[in-house]
Structure 1
Amino acid sequence: MAETSPGRLNRRRLLGGGAAAVGAAGIGWGAVAMTARDDTSRTSVTEPFYGTHQSGIATSPQSQAAFVAFDLKPNVTRDDLIGILKIWTGDAARLTQGRPALADTEPELAQRPARLTITVGLGPSVFTTAALEHRRPSWLRPLPPFAIDRLESAWRDGDLLVQVCADEATTVSHAVRVLCRSVSSLVTVRWVQRGFRNAEPGRTPRNLMGQVDGTVNIAPGPDFDRLVWDNGSAQPWLAGGTSCVLRRIAMTLDTWDEIDQEGRELTVGRTVANGAPLTGTAEFDEPDFAAVDANGITIIPQSSHIARAHHTHDGERFLRRGYNYDDAPAPGRISNSGLLFAAYQRDVDAQFLPVQQRLAEFDALNVWTTPIGSAVFVIPPGVPAPGGYLGQSLFES
């Protein structure tokens, strides 16, 4: 049989393979077309860009995320900072609506927004560079050291943050590349942290320890407005904004795998099966930390993760968005996995720090979890309408 190029071979099979082949191909095309229609309806969904608040915070969490921190290059000025934020505003406004950014070299990849959101944050040094120290929130600084921390320089701090979330990894990757490339003359990438989360609709996702993760959270509404969004009382320019604390938490899965189910449940304070507290039967049952068994032993151990993380008063609540990461392991290791834990709150000092301090002091889960990255950013308010830019209230109010 004479050699035939792959192109001609495929063409013969599709067009010259007889009635049976044509019939089979027809069935295949129908299935592909049906899948494509369903896929298109899912990936064409958009989230709004313009509004009082930046999207990507109150937004229902997407399945894919990338957090990118940047360092400003030497001699960057206040005007340069404004330029960066204007470029990112324009690019984000287009990309989130399924349109290519200006000078987009892969415009086809922008056609699948898949609920893309782009959220921008500012680190402490921005206020020094812009000569705006008097407008820096009092809580905007690195977290204090904790005994459990083993922070690595590769995952710490940053001058600027871009949080990119979508329901498709390709969409996230394309947006990250566009946003990095458009300002490469003024910044360098400090770190990129990518994560994922998956769950059935209406269900809470699980982390890579197998635990239901994210049960206790704040839903959009009055509590959200009060606890997450800043009201501008201390810094008027920040009204409608918030803060973001990003912690990279490594999980020692190689030894966690050796713990039996009862040990895991006592460590976390919830059942593995459905995430119910050990004093309840359903995931969203309120835990009873005072309940004891027949021997007078507390059913939910005081050292369990949920006991230590539980707020002692309403002012310690904050919004959590967690994403798993699963990177290439070091030689001789089975895994290099963990959690990207993003917390959003009006005041880091009043809301996040007390909870983190309790966890650092006496959390049974600390045996298998280690914070290796930490950064704090202020999230400016959103852009109310076209013509404005992210951070405008900071620079022009």
Structure 2
Amino acid sequence: MSEPAVPAGPSVTRRGFLAGVGVASAGVSVAAVASACSVTDGTGRDRSQAGNDGADAVPAQSVPFDGEHQAGIGTPAQRHNVTVAFDLRRGAGRREVQRLLRIWTGDARRMCGGRPALADLEPELSAEPANLTVTCGFGEGLFRAAGREDVRPAWLAPLPAFRGDRLDPRWGGGDIVLQVCGDDRTTLSHALRVLVRGGADYARPRWTQRGFLDMTRRDGDGDRGGDAGAASGLSPDQAGRAGTPRNLFGFKDGTVNPRTAAELDDQVWIPGPGPTAGGTAMIVRRIAFDMPAWEEVDRDSREVAFGRTVTTGAPLTGGEEFTPADFDRLGDDGLPVIDRHSHMALATHEGRDPRQRMLRRAYNYDEPVSAGDPTLSDSGLIFTCFQRDPRESFIPVQRRLAEGDRLNQWITHVGSAVFLCPPGTTGGDTDYWGRGLIEG
């Protein structure tokens, strides 16, 4: 990646920054999902009322598994995430796909509820679910294997090429994906191992991505309350008390997510009728951060590139984190206070079409540095988003950002995958993910 044209040091002016910065070719670091809200442990208690008095406390509560929508999408973001894509084994057909989904759904249902899977070799590790969720998505290869291409959504295909993409096959594709999230790494690791082992006869891992979030909470943040929509992120008041998570560039991530049940219905869940109703489109993009180059950029220039302040996350036109931005306001120099090519302006203001909204549920990653690597960094964002139709949301937003986002100098998209998350399970303990799609 080329070195940024932004001069280091505090003396740079906005006009000098805007004049000197070229639009480099890369992708977009789209905002991550906000942190946790209210879920119960199956007894009606708020999950934050027990075992979560401090920032490092590990809650034992569970997130309900069954419902109209899969858990792990509108659910409050947990501290840890592992997303694993699988390839079906050669010769797998509809019967094998059904067996795999029955095994995985049953095991996930039990472990998310604090019970061991049927073939669990370490049942003690399932006793405290710590808000474990397992979310399943189908790639286009699963529909071919199951002989159900007639119900495959038209958008379920590789994303088009975007300017600046440097996609690595190691981080792309897959016939089926599991997103496993939780607040305890031991519980999460155990659940993942159970699922990988349980499906070994039918699918093998293709890629694995591990991420984390800053989930620091403050005293008084226990009363989260709220409806299903609150699970998608924090309300402005809650975020002010709990703190919106930050990405590894230091900025708050998750300010613009849908926050009500109505917004989730409008932006995330696929409408009916049909077997995909209640499901959603899932996109996973791996975005590498050029940390050495970013560290040469002064704070004011970083804020110009984002369109927000580092400290509070407020728009540069003033207010607090959730204050609406004034994109028409001009500064004393006659330039827009919020640069037209800032990340925020291109991601939100320039695309006023309400269909271009989505739920962001991203996690930071920080991999070990290889011996001899001169950058001393392998960090970035596992950007996962959910929406009704990527052709109307992610794709137009990403095209706009790829062409003009000032952040492009410090980020590169290196992985890409698209999946359909089928609706949730509502048919009891024998129901499994995607039953309506597979059985017809």
Compute the RMSD of aligned alpha carbons.
1.8
Amino acid at match of 1:151: L
Residues 111 and 272 (structure 1 numbering): CA distance in 2 closer, same or farther, change over 3 Å? same
- The 5-angstrom pairing of residues 315-394 of structure 1 reads 315-330=355-370, 331-384=373-426, 385-394=428-437
Aligned length: 362
Q: Is the 8 A contact 1:218 1:318 kept in 2?
A: yes
1:220 to 247, 256, 260: 260
Once the two structures are aligned, what percentage of the paired residues are identical?
46
Q: Is the 8 A contact 1:147 1:360 kept in 2?
A: yes
Give the superposition deviation at 1:90.
Answer: 0.5
Residues 273 and 138 (structure 1 numbering): CA distance in 2 closer, same or farther, change over 3 Å? same
2:292 aligns with 254
SS at match of 2:286: strand
1:124 aligns with 140
Give the superposition deviation at 1:296.
Answer: 1.1
Amino acid at match of 1:326: D
Matched, 1:232 2:272: yes
1:208 aligns with 248
Q: Which runs of 5+ in 1 are unaligned?
A: 1-33
Q: Distance in 2 between matches of 1:380 and 1:133?
A: 15
Residues 206 and 40 (structure 1 numbering): CA distance in 2 closer, same or farther, change over 3 Å? closer
1:168 aligns with 184
Amino acid at match of 1:260: D
Matched, 1:270 2:313: no
SS at match of 1:335: coil
2:328 aligns with 290
TM-score of the two chains, using structure 2 as the length reference: 0.80
Give the superposition deviation at 1:295.
Answer: 2.1
2:227 aligns with none
Q: Can you list the C-alpha shifts for 1:65-101, whole angstroms capped at 9, x where unaligned? A: 0000001111011100010000011101100011111
2:319 to 278, 281, 301: 281
2:201 aligns with 185
1:156 aligns with 172
Q: Distance in 2 between matches of 1:382 and 1:123?
A: 17
Relative contact order higher in (CA < 8 Å, ≥ 6 apart): 2
Q: Distance in 1 between matches of 2:421 and 2:52?
A: 37
Amino acid at match of 2:298: D
Matched, 1:49 2:35: no
Amino acid at match of 1:228: V
Q: Is the 8 A contact 1:300 1:307 kept in 2?
A: yes
Q: Which runs of 5+ in 2 are unaligned?
A: 1-49, 218-241
Q: Is the 8 A contact 1:199 1:206 kept in 2?
A: no
* More moved, 123-132 vs 157-166: 123-132
Structure in which a larger fraction of residues adopt helix: 1
Q: Is the 8 A contact 2:83 2:209 kept in 1?
A: yes
* More moved, 118-127 vs 41-50: 41-50
Q: Is the 8 A contact 1:280 1:286 kept in 2?
A: no
2:17 aligns with none
1:75 aligns with 91
Q: Distance in 2 between matches of 1:124 and 1:93?
A: 25
2:215 to 172, 188, 199: 199
Residues 265 and 45 (structure 1 numbering): CA distance in 2 closer, same or farther, change over 3 Å? same
Give the superposition deviation at 1:333.
Answer: 2.6
Q: Is the 8 A contact 2:93 2:147 kept in 1?
A: no
2:220 aligns with none
Give the superposition deviation at 1:40.
Answer: 12
Give the superposition deviation at 1:165.
Answer: 0.4
Give the superposition deviation at 1:332.
Answer: 2.5
Q: Is the 8 A contact 2:51 2:59 kept in 1?
A: no
Give the superposition deviation at 1:396.
Answer: 2.1
Give the superposition deviation at 1:199.
Answer: 3.1
For the pair shown, which has the larger CA radius of gyration, 1 or 2? 1
Give the superposition deviation at 1:258.
Answer: 0.7
SS at match of 1:238: coil
Residues 286 and 39 (structure 1 numbering): CA distance in 2 closer, same or farther, change over 3 Å? closer
Give the superposition deviation at 1:314.
Answer: 1.0
SS at match of 1:237: coil
Large movers: runs of 4+ above 2 Å: 34-43, 199-202, 330-333
Give the superposition deviation at 1:38.
Answer: 8.5
Q: Can you list the C-alpha shifts for 1:139-181, whole angstroms capped at 9, x where unaligned? A: 1011001111100010001000000000111111111111000
Q: Can you list the C-alpha shifts for 1:268-294, whole angstroms capped at 9, x where unaligned? A: 110011111101221111111111112
1:98 aligns with 114
